[in-house]
A and B are shown apart, each in its own frame.
Chain A
Amino acid sequence: MKPGRVIGTVTLSQAAPQFRGARWKVLGAMGPDELSGKNPDGVGPGWTPVVLDQLGAGVGDAVLYVEGTEATQPFDHPIPLDAITVALMDRYVFEPID
């Protein structure tokens, strides 16, 4: 699980049938500065994954997401999925020491 902030959405004009009704979010990285409040509403540099969202995350929300095979576990049918949101963080505290 990694923290990320929703920075956008993706819509598809055509899609695999497994993705009917799916909502896709683009995430920006949340690093130490974003989690600790030095850059409270921003995103860090790096990878911007696109994830399936079933929690109703909106742009600006801080989420936890999972990448890998585990992302498909909530589904009772095969689905070609790389990443999924698993939590909307409503409060977080982060105090790195170096």
Chain B
Amino acid sequence: MILARVDGHCTATIAHPSLKGQRIVLCTPIDEHGKSNGSPIAAIDTFGAGRHSRVFITTDGSWTQGTVHDDSSPIRNQILGLIDDV
């Protein structure tokens, strides 16, 4: 699992069909103190995570295929929780 902070979002008209209707956020991985710790990653968000909120991300694509209801989806990253405390 990846600890990250939501620093932005993006829109994509042309994308894999499984991304249609999904909110895509751009996140910065963070360390245990909340400091930036790595290059930006994108994830789908079903929580409506707010700007600069801290989130819990999985890179398990087989789980995310279920979320997007598409067994052929290549999407990996998905927010699975909002962080309360580390």
Give A contacts to B, CB under 8 Å: 1-3, 29-32, 35-36, 44, 46, 55-56, 64, 66, 68-76, 84, 86-98
A1 to B76, CA, bound (A): 6
Q: Which residue of B lies closest to A31 (CB)?
A: B39
B42: nearest chain-A partner, CB-CB: A1
Interface centre among B19, B40, B43 (most CB of A within 10 A): B40
User: Which residue on chain A has the smallest CB distance to residue B64?
Assistant: A70
Q: A86-B75, A97-B7 are in contact. Are A3 and B42 (CB under 8 A)?
A: yes
Name B residues whose Cβ lies closer than 8 Å to a Cβ of A: 5, 7-16, 19, 24, 26, 28, 35-36, 39-43, 51-52, 59, 61, 65, 71-77
Contact between chains at A1 and B75 (CB < 8 Å) = yes
For A97, what are the chain B residues with a Cβ–Cβ distance below 8 Å?
A: 5, 7, 52
- Across the interface, name the chain A residue whose C-beta is closest to B28: A96
Is A66 within 8 A of B76, CB to CB?
yes
Contacts of A70 in B (CB 8 A): 61, 73-76
19 more contacts with CB within 8 A, not counting A2-B39, A95-B52, are: A1-B24, A3-B26, A55-B15, A64-B24, A66-B76, A70-B73, A71-B74, A72-B74, A84-B74, A86-B16, A87-B12, A88-B15, A89-B11, A92-B8, A93-B10, A94-B26, A96-B7, A96-B36, A97-B52
Rounded to whole angstroms, the CA-CA distance of A46 and B41 in the bound complex is 15
| Cβ contacts under 8 Å, B9 to chain A | 92-93
**Nearest-Cβ distance from residue A52 to partner chain B, whole angstroms:** 10
Measured between beta carbons, the chain B residues less than 8 angstroms from A36 are 8
A64-B61 contact, Cβ under 8 Å, with A30-B40, A74-B74? no
